[in-house]
Copies of this chain bind each other. A is one copy, B any other.
Amino acid sequence: MSGFPRPPLGPDARAAAFPLGGIGTGTVSIGARGDLRDWELQNRPAKGTRLPFSFFAIRSARPGREAVTKVLEGPLTGPHEGDQGYDAGRLAGLPRLATSRMRGEYPLLFVDFTDPEVGVDVTLTAFTPLIPLDVDASGVPGAVLRYTVHNPTDERVDVTIAGSLANQVGITGWNVFHFPEYAGSPRNTWFEEPSLRGIEFANDLSADDLRHGTVVLATTDASTSAKPQWLSGFWQDGVQVFWDDLRADGRLDAETVFSLDEPPYPSWFTKLRVGSLAISHPLAPGESRDFTFLLTWHFPNRPRAWQGNIGLDNTNAGEVVRNHYATRFGSAVEVARHLVDTPGLEAGTRAFHRALFESSLPAEVVDAVSATLVALRSNTCFRLADGRFAAWEGSFDHSGSCEGTCTHVWNYAQAAAYLFPALERDARRTEFTRETRPDGRMNFRANSVFGNAAWDFHPAVDGQLGAIVRLYREWRFSGDDELLRDCWPGLRRALEFAFTEWDGDGDGVLDSKQHNTYDIEFFGPNSLANSMFLAALHAGARLADHLGETATAARWRSAADTGRARVDELLFNGEYYDQRLDDVDERRYQYGTGCLSDQVFGQLLAHLAGLGYVLPADHVRSAVAAVHRHNFRRDLSAHHSVQRTYALGGESGLVLCSWPRGGRPRIPFVYSDEVWTGIEYQVAAHLAYEGLVDEALELVRAVRARHDGYRRNPWNEAECGNHYARSLASWGVLVALTGADYHAPSGSLSFTPRLGPDLSAPFTTGTGWGVLRVSATGAELELLGGELALDELRVAHPLLGPLATGPVRLHPGQPLTLTATDHDRLEVSR
């Protein structure tokens, strides 16, 4: 098992697929060999989709030697199986480069290629812009693929890099020969502008067809040649002529005929249209040069319905809604122009990358928080033309998994809240203004985003109450009073609902039928529901305070105080909190005396939202320590689970529940023996808050070691679907380790580093983001994006004690330094 930082991945890291694409745009991935794979641009998952003849190639010519032309990928390492071997579209029979090494540092990917015959060294840098707080900048449907070629020889080398792409617009399916079939008529068109040239892949489908769209392969480079449309034919004429053309002189010629076959063509004549764009440059001895390609896409249309597996009402499915990006761009060409015209996109992306990857955070934490961001940019999430954010729980290989921005799954996610808080604010608005019924029951799956009928099912205790804490988190991070006012009536109903629905005996402890994220109902008092309830009461009270609803605030605070005592007395067993049932087997799917990994999840949300302890601190710490002690397995070989399996023999992981004191039910809750990365991160963040940093890091390492590129994809943590939203809990680990706490209404930002004394780590606030640096002599805050005006800045320095300053206004590029002298300026805390 490799350590961290992760070593580069070899070409046999078959599980590795680094997705390119923005928020709400879909993705295409690059595999460990530098190969294009998993084309998922068309508003739904499509894992495993490979486009034929879609690849990059390199030709290098040195004086006096035969030119060398190869597919610009690492070697195919096998297994080599297929019912027709590798079909022709894979071009497995062409030479490839000798070695490839993939270094994925999301959002930047690097792949290094070497080959003695090719003679030059090549590094691919690929990315889609990602800039904290800027959803639009991070939501571009396209990517930059930059091949940096270095000539280490003492001779001139003439280099061509050619990108080829099959037209994917209108694909309806795949024939038995693994070639695509199409609706409409795909066509490839060359376009050329002063600062951009390339091939537009389109189709004559109508603009409101769900498959309508465009894809562009382009460059800003002026030294190009192209074959915008290969020869069409029954056989491989097109690719043979392309390859021979490229090998011959490194320059591509446009074909002068459509096909070598005479018309008329049969109805089943291929509609496959492949086009190639080549960039050529001579490289002097020692020279390095970039060969930059832009790959952009534009698939504007979605059905106006989830059409998911849960089966929410799909009445409007026949209508079309548009992606938000389609309101910004009219075509893939416009996207490409935007990438060319907006250099700040790359600069901001690189700044964010540096903030993370040049941080002093443990490498496994950087690996985790960066890689899991992919979930936000996968087909798991999307934005509609009206700006609405919506998401699945995850992505099945070929469809969304579990629709409706599920409150009890998204409950765990922290990345969006801290990096793209507008998305989470929008989700809260949906939940409280549209999905909370008059009686306070919140539909935990939102169907209002499509205007279809509300979902009718049990309310989810954890999701509903967690949404209240999260609304507080969003308001606190943004100071968005309009959001709060809009949501307040719903929040009030949703919180009151807990008393009537889930507190069967009115003693302030939730104890009736409680549907939850394990897709079953808990009965009787349990600390998952009640820790969430206590956190929600505190959050609600704080918001009531702000709105001047003092009676309500007092009542909820009082309920929290009462509940805290009762819950603690009822459920704390001296080591951890459990579920109290007379007969754990009276009903199925309970846990009873078990040690539940999520047992104080409500407390973690409270910590993140700055609510403090909602249960006694010593018991909370004992409980999370018990979770680590009992539920983390360094080797799962002896574990018996008949459930889904995300970690297995020889691997480490945190199980959802264990019964260290006996009492395992005959049939415990359905996921009890599983290992979920989202819960591992939830617990890791909480362990860090409780000062158990080594234990926290052990969990993070376990997750990321399982996702090593060989066994699983580092950029895909699956649960019920790929790119599962719960994995976004990972960002909470970073927040906990830095102890970052931003309170917009009061303009205060504070840090309580739990690593150090030296620390360098990114931070975000509602308006700006940057890097915190702590050294033995003080602390420094550098803003890298946005703006930040603070009334108060505090750093709990591990050696120097509390440092504070304020008011301050931070400007990008002008670091603010706090030294021990700032100690004097410490004010009394709010």
**A819→B90 CA distance, assembly (Å):** 58
Q: Which partner residue on chain B sits nearest A17 by CB separation?
A: B81
Q: Is the CB of B396 within 8 A of A176?
A: yes
A71-79, A287-295, A553-561 - interface stretch? A71-79
By Cβ-Cβ distance, the 9 closest A-B pairs, closest first, are A93-B641, A92-B645, A85-B646, A93-B645, A86-B645, A78-B711, A235-B670, A239-B642, A83-B397
In A124-178, which residues have CB < 8 Å from any B CB? Answer: 175-176
**A92→B639 CA distance, assembly (Å):** 10
A103-111, A719-727, A780-788 - interface stretch? A719-727
Q: How far in angstroms is the closest Cβ of chain B from A109?
A: 19
Query: Given that A93-B640, A260-B588 are contacting pairs, would A718 and B670 also be in contact in the complex, using a CB cutoff of 8 Å?
Result: no
Main secondary structure of the interface of A (DSSP, over half): loop
Q: Is the CB of A712 within 8 A of B79?
A: yes
Q: Is the CB of B667 within 8 A of A237?
A: yes
Q: How far in angstroms is the closest Cβ of chain B from A544?
A: 40
Q: Is the CB of B15 within 8 A of A710?
A: no
Q: Which partner residue on chain B sits nearest A96 by CB separation?
A: B649
Q: Which partner residue on chain B sits nearest A82 by CB separation?
A: B718
Q: A80 to chain B: which residues have CB within 8 Å?
A: 645, 648, 706, 711-712
Q: How far in angstroms is the closest Cβ of chain B from A483?
A: 34
Q: A243 to chain B: which residues have CB within 8 Å?
A: 640, 642
Q: Is the CB of B86 within 8 A of A667?
A: no
Q: Is the CB of A642 within 8 A of B75?
A: no
Contact flags (1/0) for A625-652 with B, using CB distance below 8 Å? 0000000000011111111111011100
In A243-278, which residues have CB < 8 Å from any B CB? Answer: 243-244, 247, 260
Q: Is the CB of B93 within 8 A of A673?
A: yes
Q: Which partner residue on chain B sits nearest A720 by CB separation?
A: B84
> Counting chain B CB atoms within 10 Å of each CB, which of A93, A175, A636, A721 scores highest?
A93
Contact flags (1/0) for A742-785 with B, using CB distance below 8 Å? 00000000000000000000000000000000000000000000
**A47→B666 CA distance, assembly (Å):** 37
**A706→B76 CA distance, assembly (Å):** 14
A603 at interface by CB-CB < 8 Å: no
Q: Is the CB of A79 within 8 A of B718?
A: no
Q: Is the CB of B649 within 8 A of A176?
A: no
Q: Is the CB of A237 within 8 A of B588?
A: yes
Query: Given that A85-B719, A648-B76 are contacting pairs, would A176 and B642 also be in contact in the complex, using a CB cutoff of 8 Å?
Result: no
Q: A82 to chain B: which residues have CB within 8 Å?
A: 718
Q: Which partner residue on chain B sits nearest A519 by CB separation?
A: B235
In A94-123, which residues have CB < 8 Å from any B CB? Answer: 94-96
Q: Is the CB of B642 within 8 A of A91?
A: yes
Query: Given that A79-B711, A240-B667, A712-B79 are contacting pairs, would A643 and B88 also be in contact in the complex, using a CB cutoff of 8 Å?
Result: yes
Q: Can you name 18 A-B residue pairings with CB atoms under 8 Å?
A: A76-B648, A78-B710, A80-B711, A81-B716, A83-B396, A84-B644, A84-B719, A84-B721, A85-B718, A90-B645, A93-B641, A93-B642, A93-B674, A94-B641, A96-B649, A235-B589, A236-B642, A241-B667
Q: Which partner residue on chain B sits nearest A649 by CB separation?
A: B75
**A244→B642 CA distance, assembly (Å):** 10
Q: Which partner residue on chain B sits nearest A237 by CB separation?
A: B667
Q: Which partner residue on chain B sits nearest A637 by CB separation?
A: B95
Q: Is the CB of B642 within 8 A of A240?
A: yes
- State the number of copies, please: 2
Q: Is the CB of A83 within 8 A of B648?
A: no
Measured CB to CB, the residues of A under 8 A from B are: 14-15, 47, 75-76, 78-88, 90-96, 175-176, 235-237, 239-241, 243-244, 247, 260, 309, 394-397, 399, 401, 520, 588-589, 636-646, 648-650, 666-667, 670, 673-674, 706, 710-713, 716, 718-722
A88: which of B81, B644, B650, B716 is its contact (CB, 8 Å)? Answer: B644
Q: A645 to chain B: which residues have CB within 8 Å?
A: 80, 85-86, 88, 90-93
**A80→B647 CA distance, assembly (Å):** 9
Q: Is the CB of B79 within 8 A of A14?
A: yes
Q: Is the CB of B236 within 8 A of A84?
A: no
Q: How far in angstroms is the closest Cβ of chain B from A520?
A: 8
Q: How far in angstroms is the closest Cβ of chain B from A244?
A: 7
Q: How far in angstroms is the closest Cβ of chain B from A10?
A: 14
Q: A648 to chain B: which residues have CB within 8 Å?
A: 76, 80, 86, 92-93
A79: which of B15, B309, B646 is its contact (CB, 8 Å)? Answer: B15
Q: How far in angstroms is the closest Cβ of chain B from A136?
A: 29
Q: Which partner residue on chain B sits nearest A636 by CB separation?
A: B93
**A244→B589 CA distance, assembly (Å):** 16
Q: Is the CB of B93 within 8 A of A639?
A: yes
**A572→B87 CA distance, assembly (Å):** 34
**A395→B396 CA distance, assembly (Å):** 28
Q: Is the CB of B83 within 8 A of A642?
A: no
**A641→B95 CA distance, assembly (Å):** 9
> Other than the known A81-B712, A243-B642, what 16 A-B pairs have Cβ atoms closer than 8 Å?
A76-B648, A80-B706, A81-B713, A81-B716, A81-B718, A83-B718, A84-B718, A85-B645, A85-B646, A88-B643, A93-B642, A93-B645, A95-B639, A95-B649, A236-B643, A240-B666
Q: Which partner residue on chain B sits nearest A87 by CB separation?
A: B644
**A520→B716 CA distance, assembly (Å):** 45
Q: Which partner residue on chain B sits nearest A723 by CB separation?
A: B83
Q: Which partner residue on chain B sits nearest A68 by CB separation?
A: B638
Q: How far in angstroms is the closest Cβ of chain B from A137?
A: 30
Q: Is the CB of B95 within 8 A of A638?
A: yes
Q: How far in angstroms is the closest Cβ of chain B from A795?
A: 41
Q: A720 to chain B: which residues have CB within 8 Å?
A: 84
Query: Given that A83-B47, A237-B588, A645-B92 are contacting pairs, would A244 and B666 also be in contact in the complex, using a CB cutoff of 8 Å?
Result: yes
Q: Is the CB of A649 within 8 A of B79?
A: no
Query: Given that A236-B670, A638-B95 are contacting pairs, would A15 and B81 also be in contact in the complex, using a CB cutoff of 8 Å?
Result: yes
Query: Given that A83-B397, A641-B94, A649-B95 are contacting pairs, would A667 and B76 also be in contact in the complex, using a CB cutoff of 8 Å?
Result: no
Q: Is the CB of A642 within 8 A of B94?
A: yes
Q: Is the CB of A83 within 8 A of B644?
A: no
**A78→B96 CA distance, assembly (Å):** 25
**A720→B175 CA distance, assembly (Å):** 13
Q: Is the CB of B95 within 8 A of A640?
A: yes
**A87→B244 CA distance, assembly (Å):** 46
Q: Is the CB of B722 within 8 A of A83?
A: yes
Q: How far in angstroms is the closest Cβ of chain B from A247?
A: 8
A94: which of B79, B640, B706, B722 is its contact (CB, 8 Å)? Answer: B640
Q: A396 to chain B: which residues have CB within 8 Å?
A: 83-84, 176
Q: A710 to chain B: which residues have CB within 8 Å?
A: 78-79
Q: How far in angstroms is the closest Cβ of chain B from A118?
A: 13
Q: Is the CB of B93 within 8 A of A643?
A: yes
Q: Which partner residue on chain B sits nearest A91 by CB separation?
A: B642
Q: How far in angstroms is the closest Cβ of chain B from A116?
A: 12
**A543→B508 CA distance, assembly (Å):** 99
Q: How far in angstroms is the closest Cβ of chain B from A68?
A: 10
Q: A646 to chain B: which residues have CB within 8 Å?
A: 85-86
Query: Given that A83-B722, A87-B644, A240-B642 are contacting pairs, would A176 and B399 also be in contact in the complex, using a CB cutoff of 8 Å?
Result: yes
Q: How far in angstroms is the closest Cβ of chain B from A378?
A: 12
**A394→B240 CA distance, assembly (Å):** 26
Query: Given that A76-B649, A176-B401, A649-B76 are contacting pairs, would A85 and B644 also be in contact in the complex, using a CB cutoff of 8 Å?
Result: yes
Q: How far in angstroms is the closest Cβ of chain B from A642?
A: 4
Q: How far in angstroms is the closest Cβ of chain B from A17?
A: 10
Q: Which partner residue on chain B sits nearest A47 by CB separation?
A: B83
